[in-house]
């Protein structure tokens, strides 16, 4: 990833705008609280109404910027073309559910990112393009209004033979082993460094049967009634707008989830949490990999 300095933005493809670049940034709006989607209902028999569930809508970040290449109109147009390419990539624009990334760096803060789509990349006027100056307005609609850490974290765990209600299953034969030579590998402690719960992605590599993974602190779990051979895997994405369960990268495995498995509630809370999982694997070669980015209220 391209390194960012204070007051700089990465708009895609490593194109950096802002302080110290040929695309200086003036005003930035949309960094406060996102709009609310309310479900209030009018009281039919009296004044006022009944408050419903309030949900955050998309966060639209508007960047007033410009291209500044004094006396080099050709260079200004080249930068405009590069900006359009970076924000209008076919891989995102023509794929339903695909998301662009806006990265930002503010003084005293680490780099954070938003996921969404570019909705406007407009050259406000070309009147001064001959002098190498093109004012711009950029609109980025973040489908997830939370800010996310730029660096992802991950945890890989071998199979945990215990579960949430009991230990070994009879008959027990010697030697008794968990298959883990280093006790420090378990349990799976994770640290949510943000001030909001984070949405993880889960990968389970076979051979394995009927895996179940849960967050001990919250009791939320994901359980699948499925068997995977060696070399097969399951990917689970819990992020809003991109929730799916795929087998071997393409096949829909969502029907394998049990009724109590809630993708919309499976989160890593702020602070220290424990992740555990159980399954059947007589080779003890299966692995669970949990990945996430810390989530924040503000930049």
Q: What's the CA gap between 273 and 189, in Å, rounded?
A: 6
At 242, the pLDDT band (50, 70, 90 cuts) reads: confident
Residue 64, token pair as written in the block: 């007033």
Q: Which is it for the CA torsion 240, 142, 268, 2, positive or negative? A: positive
Write down all domains in the chain, each with its CATH number in brackets: 8-42+50-149 (2.40.30.200), 153-296 (2.60.120.860)
**Which one has a higher pLDDT value, 11 or 184?**
11
Sole residue written with tokens 């890989």: 156
Beta strand 112-123 with 133-149: parallel, antiparallel or unpaired?
A: antiparallel
Per-residue pLDDT, 283: 86
pLDDT at 171 over 70: no
Q: What separation in angstroms does the CA of 140 have from each of 5, 30, 50, 63, 96? A: 20, 9, 33, 8, 17
Which segment of 156-165, 179-188, 231-240 scores lowest on mean pLDDT?
179-188
Q: Mean pLDDT across the stretch 206-233?
A: 92
The pLDDT > 90 percentage for the chain reads: 66
**Per-chain mean pLDDT for the chain:** 87
Q: Do 4 and 11 form a contact (C-beta atoms < 8 A)? A: no
Instruction: Establish how many alpha carbons lie within 13 A of residue 230's alpha carbon, considering only the half-sphere containing its beta carbon.
Output: 5
Per-residue pLDDT, 187: 62
Which segment of 6-10, 89-93, 144-148, 162-166 scores lowest on mean pLDDT?
162-166
Q: Mean pLDDT across the stretch 181-186?
A: 44
At 160, the pLDDT band (50, 70, 90 cuts) reads: low
How many CB atoms neighbour CB 32 within 10 A? Answer: 8
What's the helix, strand, coil split of the chain in %, to 5?
A: 10, 40, 50
- Tell me the CA end-to-end span of the chain in Å, nearest whole number: 18
pLDDT at 158 over 50: yes
pLDDT in tens, 39-93: 899 999 999 999 999 988 889 999 999 999 998 989 999 999 999 999 999 999 9
Per-residue pLDDT, 33: 87
Q: Mean pLDDT across the stretch 274-286?
A: 89
The rounded Cα 5 to chain-centroid distance in angstroms is 22
């Amino acid at each position: 990833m391209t390194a960012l300095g204070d007051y700089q933005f990465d708009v895609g493809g490593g194109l950096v705008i802002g302080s110290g670049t040929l695309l200086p940034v003036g005003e930035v709006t949309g960094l406060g609280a996102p709009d609310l989607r309310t479900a209030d209902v009018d009281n039919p028999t009296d004044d006022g109404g009944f408050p419903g569930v309030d949900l955050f809508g998309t966060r639209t970040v508007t960047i007033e910027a410009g291209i500044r290449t004094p006396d080099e109109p050709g260079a200004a147009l080249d930068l405009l073309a590069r900006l359009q390419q970076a924000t209008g990539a076919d891989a995102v624009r023509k794929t339903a559910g695909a998301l662009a990334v806006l990265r930002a760096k503010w003084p005293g803060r680490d780099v954070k990112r938003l996921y969404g789509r570019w909705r406007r990349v407009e050259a406000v006027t070309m009147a001064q393009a001959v002098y190498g100056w093109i004012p711009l307005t950029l609109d980025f609609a973040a489908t997830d209004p939370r800010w996310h850490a730029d660096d992802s974290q991950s945890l890989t765990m071998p199979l945990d033979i215990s579960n949430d209600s009991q230990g070994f299953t009879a008959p027990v034969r010697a030697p008794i082993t968990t298959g883990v030579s280093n006790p420090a590998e378990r349990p799976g402690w994770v640290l949510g460094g943000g001030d909001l719960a984070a949405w993880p992605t889960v990968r389970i590599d076979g051979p394995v049967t009927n895996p179940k993974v849960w967050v001990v602190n919250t009791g939320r779990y994901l359980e699948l009634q499925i068997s995977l051979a060696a070399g097969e895997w399951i990917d689970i994405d819990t992020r809003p707008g991109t929730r799916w369960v795929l087998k071997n990268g393409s096949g829909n495995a969502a029907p394998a989830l049990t009724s109590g498995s809630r993708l919309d509630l499976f989160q890593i809370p702020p602070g220290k949490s424990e992740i555990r999982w159980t399954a059947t694997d007589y080779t003890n070669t299966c692995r669970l990999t949990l990945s996430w980015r810390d989530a924040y209220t503000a930049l």
